[in-house]
Amino acid sequence: MKRITTVVVGAGQAGLAMSHCLSERNVEHVVLDRGEVAQSWRSQRWDSLKLLTPRWQSRLPGLDYRGPDPDGYMSMREVVDFLSGYAERAWAPIETHTSVHAITPHGDGYRVATQHGEWQCRQVVLATGACRVANVPALSAALPADVVQRTPLTYRNPDQLPQGPVLVVGASASGMQLAAELRASGREVTLAVGEHIRMPRHYRGRDIQWWMDRAGLLDMHADEVDDLERARRVPSLQLMGSHTRQWLDLNSLQDAGVRITGRLVDVRDGEALFAGSLANQCALSDLKMNRLLDSVDAWADVAMPGHMPPPQRYAPTRCPAMPPLRLPVSGGRIRSVIWATGFRPDFSCLRLPVFDTRGRLRHQQGHVAPGLAVLGLPFMRRRKSALLDGVGDDARELADHLARSLGRQAA
């Protein structure tokens, strides 16, 4: 059995940021990953995907983007190169192709069992990300056997699917982008719409992420939120990484020929059944968008009076008068279903009583148990906690706590 002070599980942006911060604080550690650095970005993203945040917002401890196109959006290949270069520059102590099977209590620390043996350590940081497993509802089992089913983690491009109609379930960023791509490939596309947040790509002459960054909206702390569990489940903004598209919303998809309907509630007797709540969901989405824009305007009035274009408000989301409530899925009426219904982390390696009655990891802003922490979850400490730009602040604070518990000081 190998011995070390701290084991970090995961070599994506969270694990690498944690490694950098631990090194600064003289904490001996190793980073273990089931594959290569940035494995999820390498193997679980579709071909055309780009980050929803501009390149200038790709910031990690000790590293900012310094390239020629700060306002553009990284492709998945660029993200992999960015993180791989970060790991190399930091001389991160990474052991790749090392899956962690079990983490159990051991003495005053933990035992970490992997495919290449065991580690004994005082501390563990779980940095495997919030999007490890796709949430696929149980009703998927009722679909006919000849319907091809994919998630954003297994979909790559339209050629992967058979020709014919596609049902995309979910209208946050992933579902919207995939519906647009599949429609552009010539397929008939139906989008089942649940909770979502409409948002313009640019507002008053700037990327919406610039406004959220400058106005401090992304830095909102968990302590400032009334319903933190609710905040952690808020869907991603309806955006895509593109300067050429101001809108990726239900209006633009309908203009492209995508049929929209309400939330998918069941599959029964060869039919998909949808809720009649589409108009209400669209009205709530417009309301949330306008509230965020109100916050941006209020900040701009104080911080930048007279220096930006005037505030804007937009026409509401159009809803069909009678969206379909049922849709045949047998006999080739639907050939493929994309489940863009969210993601969840995978902490199945933990053999400790740290889960609630719904199987969710219990933590207080990343602190799970003495010497056990998690990093990279939505709104873990701040609204931006799960973003490439946000994980660094959380890593610094967790590293401070872990170092203090060991009596270490920063270099």
**Domain contains 375:** yes
Q: CA-to-CA distance for 11 and 191, rounded, in angstroms?
A: 34
Task: Tell whether 308 and 367 lie within a shared domain.
Answer: no
Residue 411 placed within a domain: no
C-alpha–C-alpha distance, residues 29 and 109, integer Å? 14
Note whether 321 and 354 are same-domain residues. no
| Domain co-membership, 145 together with 224 | yes
Residues 235 and 281 sit within 8 Å (Cβ to Cβ)? no
Same domain? 331 vs 374:
no
Per-residue three-class SS string for 197-243: EECCCEECCEEHHHHHHHCCHHHCEHHHCCCHHHHHCCCCEECCCCC
The amino acid at residue 74 is M
**Residue 312, both tokens:** 């804007």
Q: Distance between CA 68 and CA 57 in Å, rounded?
A: 14
Residue 114: Cβ-neighbour burial (10 angstroms; 0-12, 13-18, 19+) = buried
Name the phi and psi angles at 247, rounded to 5.
-125, 135
The order of strands in the sheet holding 166-169 is 148-150, 336-339, 166-169, 189-192, 259-261
Locate tokens 């950098």: which residue? 20
Q: What is the mean pLDDT of each run of 10 residues along the chain (411 residues)?
A: 97 98 97 97 96 97 94 97 95 96 97 97 97 96 96 97 97 98 98 98 97 97 94 95 94 98 97 97 98 97 92 97 94 95 96 96 97 97 95 97 82 45
Number of domains in the chain: 2
The answer on 193 and 313 residing in a single domain is yes
* Whether residues 147 and 271 fall in one domain: yes
172 & 288 share domain: yes
Q: Indicate whether 61 belongs to any domain.
A: yes
| Residues 382 and 327 occupy one common structural domain | no
Q: Residue 292 carries which side chain, given as an amino acid letter? A: L
Last residue of a domain, one of 296, 322, 339: 339
Contact 405/24 with Cβ under 8 angstroms?
Answer: no
| Domain stops at, among 339, 363, 394 | 339
pLDDT of residue 408: 60
- Packing angle, helices 13-24 and 391-406, rounded to 10: 40
Among residues 339, 356, 386, the one where a domain terminates is 339
Q: Provide the pLDDT for residue 411.
A: 45
Tell whether 329 and 194 lie within a shared domain: yes
Contact present, 370 and 359 (Cβ < 8 Å):
no
- Measure the CA–CA gap between 129 and 112, rounded to whole angstroms: 18
Degrees (nearest 5) of the Cα angle 268, 269, 273? 40
Q: Identify whether residues 320 and 332 lie together within a single domain.
A: yes
Q: Which domain holds residue 22?
A: 2-132+345-406
Using the structure block, give the residue that is written with the tokens 């808020």.
234
- Specify if 57 maps to a domain: yes
Shared-domain flag, residues 97 and 13: yes
Written as six digits, the tokens of 220 are 């909102």
Beta strand 343-344 with 94-95 is unpaired
* Residue 225 and residue 91 in one domain: no
CATH number at residue 383: 3.50.50.60
Q: C-alpha 143: how far from its chain's center?
A: 27
Q: Are strands 148-150 and 206-207 parallel, antiparallel or unpaired?
A: unpaired
Report the alpha-carbon distance of residue 233 to residue 173 in Å, rounded: 14
